[in-house]
Amino acid sequence: MDKVMSNKKIIALYVLPALLLIITLVYVPIVLTGYYGLTQWDGIGERTFIGLANYSKLITDSLFWQSAFHSFLLAIFSVISLVAYLAVSLVLSGKIKGANLFRKIYLVPMLLSSVAIAQLWIRIYHPTNGVMNRFLESIGISNPPLWLADTSIVLFAIFIPIIWQYAGFYILIYYAALKNIPESLVEAAKIDGATPLQIAYKIKVPLIASVIKVTIVLAVVGSLKYFDLIWVMTEGGPNGASEVMASYMYKNAFKMNDFGYGSAIGFFLLLIALGVTWIIRKLTATKEEIQY
């Protein structure tokens, strides 16, 4: 039995297709991105080695830091919205009629492509015909904002559909985790006279702490690399007001043909994503896992 199940040839045959794909298309590229960052390259011609020039340019590039700031702002927004999702899930996981239907309805936007969502929200924000300003005008606001054309609010106007898109995803995760808590624990607390709020904060939330940790990492890393919806809605504009790290990278490489600098940004993005993941895991590390 053991001999059959440790046949090297068969193991290699089963593992190699997946391993080759992930190494060639994920791991080799992230190393190459770091290397291409050391070169000057227009994407077609020869690569010229220029040392750390791109990276030192990146450190002093105020446009990049502005886009990094926007990415981190999105991360902070996403984490704050997690609190609201947790609250919704706590309500939903109590004995609510139709909870299953609710969580499915919440999930619908998450299933649609970012392109479709972006194109839809471009219409929603349309200054004259969009449903947003039609509504604002109907309640008597005569000068509604221009939304995507206004540099001071475009970033937040874009955050709303992103939050709208992912709400159902996080609610679903929290709901599943809360449903896993043994009924006996909640019953015991009720007998001891705990109020529903106390049960939520002192029993349910601590019990799903590990899941909350995972969602924080997902929300932060997802925000830092966010691209699709922003690219389709504004391409980072107007005037860089909604630029994020990924859109700045894409613009430099595939619009301005500066693939060396684009690679440097891509490598930086990787370091930031991995670094932030590590920091969050350190900060939220618990000394003992809760057993129940």
Q: According to CB under 8 A, which residues from 93 to 112 bind other proteins?
A: 94, 96, 102-112
Least distance (Å) from other proteins to the CB of residue 144?
14
Nearer to other proteins, 241 or 260 (CB): 260
> Could you tell me which of 109, 91, 110 has the C-alpha nearest to residue 218?
110
Backbone angles phi, psi at 197, to 5 degrees: -65, -45
Least distance (Å) from other proteins to the CB of residue 195?
7
DSSP H or E stretch at residue 157: helix 154-179
Nearer to other proteins, 124 or 152 (CB): 124
Handedness of CA 174, 179, 182, 186 (dihedral sign): positive
Q: According to CB under 8 A, which residues from 203 to 262 bind other proteins?
A: 211, 214, 218, 221, 224-225, 227-228, 232, 245-246, 249-250, 253-254, 259, 262
114, 223, 234, 242: which one contacts other proteins (CB under 8 A)? 114
Nearer to other proteins, 89 or 154 (CB): 89
Q: Measured between alpha carbons, how far is residue 229 from residues 76, 155, 172, 269, 274 in Å?
A: 18, 12, 22, 18, 23
Binding mask 164-203 for other proteins (x = CB under 8 A): x--xxx--xx--xx--------------xxxx--x-----
Q: In this structure, which amino acid lies at residue 134?
A: R
H-assigned helices in 23-153: 28-36, 53-60, 62-93, 99-111, 114-124, 131-138
* Contact call for residue 17 and other proteins (CB under 8 A): yes
